[in-house]
Amino acid sequence: MSEKCCCSHKTKNRSENEIKRLNNRLKRIEGQVRGVQKMLLNDAYCTDILIQVSAIQSALNSFNKELLEQHLRTCVVEDIKNGDEEVISDLVETIRKLMK
- Model-level pTM? 0.83
Closest CA to 60 of 98, 34, 14: 98
Query: pLDDT for 47-97, tens place per residue?
Result: 999 999 999 999 999 999 999 999 999 999 999 999 998 999 999 999 999
DSSP count for the chain of H helices, then E strands? 4, 2
Cα distances from 96 to residues 15, 76, 85, 89, 100, in angstroms, run 27, 16, 18, 11, 7
Residue 89: per-residue pLDDT: 94
Three-state DSSP class for residue 18: helix
Residue 88: per-residue pLDDT: 93
78-98 burial, b at 16+ Cβ within 10 Å, e below that, comes to bbeeeeeeebeeebeeeeeee
What 8-state DSSP symbol labels residue 36?
H
Question: Which long-range CB contacts under 8 A does 85-92 form with residues at least 24 apart?
Answer: none
Residue 100: per-residue pLDDT: 86
pLDDT at 23 over 90: yes
Residue 3: per-residue pLDDT: 47
